[in-house]
Amino acid sequence: MLLMLHILLLGALLMLLMLHILLLELLVMLLLLDKSKKSNYVKYLKLKLLNVRGVTKMNKELLETGLAALTEAAELVKQAMAASEVEAKPEGRYKPKYGEEYWCIGGDGNIFSVKWMGSHSSEFRYALGNVYRTVEEAQAALDKQLATVRILDRIAELNAADNNWVADWDDKGQSKYRVTFNAEKHKVCLGSNGCIKSLPDAYYGSEKTIEAVIKEMADDCKLMLEVGQ
């Protein structure tokens, strides 16, 4: 395509150059030649003009060919963009196609692959959210789950030590603390409210409890919240 455009440009420049030469020669004829020589020179210029017209015709043909190529290329680009938009549409939660290999986490913590054949066990894994496209996704999910359980165990332990603290949602004046992540500061921090429940009770603790969890288990908190290290 670029080569075609270069050819078109060169053709146009050549035509302009030849026209300029003709004009220059015409001026020379008018200014310098005597009457006896002008008639022969006019014939010569007519022949050159026919040549320029031929170049113009050739340039027109090149232009038409180039436009046709550009139109075809534009249509191909349009089709490619439409295809990419279809591919970019969200598919929802990943579910393998029949015969496709997927990864899951076994009851012993091992990660293994299985082919999706529509079996009851595969469908049940999917219902549990235990179906992953890659081994890396499965490993990340396992790491997150283990970190979450460790955090919940520690919250329960510290709440018990803090006068058996429990979240009382009927008590609007009680502050309930949880682990959150401040994206602007990129750090794990305390989050609190008195009456808006967004997580199960096991995730809430007293201020002292959650502060201790964040201090002791910062990496696990990031794994649980999927915010990286």
Domains of the chain, residue spans: 2-88, 92-133, 148-225
Q: How many CB atoms lie within 10 A of CB 70?
A: 13
Long-range residue pairs from 5-9, CB within 8 A, at least 24 positions apart, any chain: 5/66, 7/62, 7/66, 8/59, 8/62, 8/63, 8/66
How many percent of the chain have pLDDT more than 90? Answer: 56
pLDDT of 127 above 60? yes
Q: Name, in order, each residue with C-beta under 8 angstroms of 18's C-beta and a sequence gap of 6 or more.
A: 48, 51, 52, 55
Rounded to whole angstroms, the Cα distance separating 29 from 69 reads: 43
**Tens digits of residue pLDDT in 138-151:** 999 999 999 999 99
Give the model confidence (pLDDT) of 94-122 as tens digits: 999 999 999 999 999 999 999 999 999 99
Residue 180 CA neighbour count, 13 Å, CB half: 15
Higher pLDDT: 12 or 229? It is: 229
Say how far apart CA 220 and CA 143 lie, in whole Å.
9
Where residue 55 falls among pLDDT bands split at 50, 70, 90? very low
